[in-house]
Amino acid sequence: MDYQFLWRPVIQSLPQMLGGASVTLQVSVLSMAIGMVLALILCFAKMSSFAGLRFVANIWIEIARNTPALFQLYFFKFGLGAVGILIDSYITVVMALAFNTAGYMAETFRGGYAAIPNTQLRSARSLGMTAFQAQVHVMFPQLLRAVYHPMTNQFIWVILMSSLGMLVGLRELSGETQFLYSKTFRAFEYFAATAIIYYLIAKLVLGLMTLIGNKVFGLNRGGVA
Amino acid sequence: MISVKNVRKSFGDVEVLKGIDLEVNQGEVLSVIGASGSGKSTLLYCINGLEPVQQGVIEVDGMSVHDKKTNLNHLRQKIGMVFQQWNAFPHLTTLENVALAPRKVKTLPKAEAEALAESQLKHVGLGDKMHLYPNALSGGQQQRLAIARALAMEPNYMLFDEATSALDPELVGEVLDTMRLLAEEGMTMIVVTHEMGFSRDVSDRVAFFHKGVIEEIGEPEQVFGQPSSEHLQKFLAKVR
């Protein structure tokens, strides 16, 4: 073993890597936002009385949860590409991560819903609220609160999984790192530095989500009554 | 006036209400007693339209509850309801809990809704708890909060569905006192209860439910003092 550690190239290309990290964050936030909206729609579709809606939701959820995220990404990039639908890598990664997040979070939403006593809905309706008002003002805030921790986990997961972008040519943090490494062959140094940056991003996001959770949902107030 | 005419209600194959006829006049307090499963609570759910009926008519102030043309959301504003399991909205403060429906349903401005909420909270003795979240309140306080929340819609009627049954024994009194206060103020109330003492003291009339029918109805002295139905005699012997 006469490998000599050489950190200079890493330090010199740190600005480029941070540029990649910013793409990672953008892609993750976008995927998460779109995925959460889709998850809510899927959750309602799955609880709907229309068989057609339930069918579509079930297929989506089954595929998203039971196939590798990598295959889902490849489907959007190369599968659609094979039939002539060519999509930019950035958008492909957002689509795949949002698709996956929607499938996972739809089930989490459904579980969160089941955890709210149905007497809450009855109380709201007994006060004269419409079904929609009861959902928006009484059920939804409690649902968000119930799924807040799983949602934070999913967010971290999305950030880490966005590294798959490297495989479809997206210059996010991993893609950027691979590009730099291929020029210098300082594999260990580059990927060690990348791992540290991922770790710091994950910790930063976790910290932010905790702060927001405490502020908005009063999660530090203790359990639900 | 609430009028119930020949109401039949089933859950699947099980008939829970087997032809109920009842009238509750303005200012009257009717308490409903009977064994669990006799249909008492179901009747309340039917009166504010939370449950459909299979037959018969329920009218509140002349409006038919189960008529498709009736705006139920509008009608329910006249009928406050308090449930057995206290149902404070856990994500809102006590004040916000009470102000929510006036704001969203009656579209009152925030300040007005909160002033209304504040006065109702003081009314039920929670004036000092306005900015706490429900998980900081005892069961009795949460149930009084539920009463204030219903009152903030300024209903003509209040329905109580075993409002004290889920409470620890030492907390029952404060909720009954609040209900007694409402009765003294002239609120029209239907009170489903297992509290015989309360029923006897506060009610104008008492209805005894047995297996989906009203087996006996009358003034408390008569129902508790000289019960004529055999089932009622047995029931009273058990609960005493």
Q: How many residues belong to chain A?
A: 225
Residue A128's SS3 state is coil
Cα(B55)–Cα(B53) distance, rounded to whole angstroms? Answer: 6
Q: Which residue of B has its CA nearest to A141?
A: B91
Cα(B34)–Cα(B37) distance, rounded to whole angstroms? Answer: 8
- Report which DSSP code applies to B207: E
Q: In a 10 Å sphere around its CB, with 0-12 CB exposed, 13-18 middle and 19+ buried, how is residue A56 labelled? A: middle
CB B100 within 8 A of CB A139: no
This complex has an ipTM of 0.90
Residue B15's SS3 state is strand
Do B50 and A126 count as a contact with CB atoms less than 8 A apart? yes
Which residues from A are below 8 Å from B when comparing CB atoms? 117, 119-120, 122-130, 133, 137-138, 141-142, 145, 217-218, 221-225
Read off the pLDDT of residues B158-210 as tens digits, 9 standing for 90 and up: 999 999 988 888 889 999 999 999 999 999 999 999 999 999 999 999 999 99
Return the domain boundaries, chain A.
Answer: 8-219
pLDDT over 70 (residue B151):
yes
Q: Which residue of B has its CA nearest to A225?
A: B135
Q: pLDDT grade, residue A222 (50/70/90)?
A: very low
Burial A169-200 (b: 16+ CB within 10 A, else e): ebbbbbbbbbbbbeeeebeebbeebbeebbee
Size of interface A-B (CB pairs under 8 A): 76
Candidates A128, A142, A224; nearest CB to B105: A128
Return the domain boundaries, chain B.
Answer: 26-49+69-239
Do A142 and B90 count as a contact with CB atoms less than 8 A apart? yes
Pick the CATH number of B26-49+69-239 from 3.40.640.10, 3.40.50.300, 3.40.50.2000, 2.40.50.180: 3.40.50.300
Mean pLDDT, range A59-79, rounded to an integer: 94
Residue A96's SS3 state is helix
Cα(B84)–Cα(B87) distance, rounded to whole angstroms? Answer: 9
Amino acid at A163: S
Q: pLDDT grade, residue A219 (50/70/90)?
A: low
Regarding the domain delimited by A8-219, which CATH topology (the fold level of the hierarchy) does it fall under? MetI-like fold (1.10.3720)
Strands B63-64 and B55-60: antiparallel
> CA-CA-CA-CA torsion for B221, B225, B227, B228, nearest 10 degrees?
-90
| pLDDT score at A96 | 97
Please tell me the distance in Å from B84's CA to the nearest CA on chain A: 10
Q: Which residue of A has its CA nearest to B49?
A: A126
Q: Which residues of B touch A137 (CB under 8 A)?
A: 100, 104
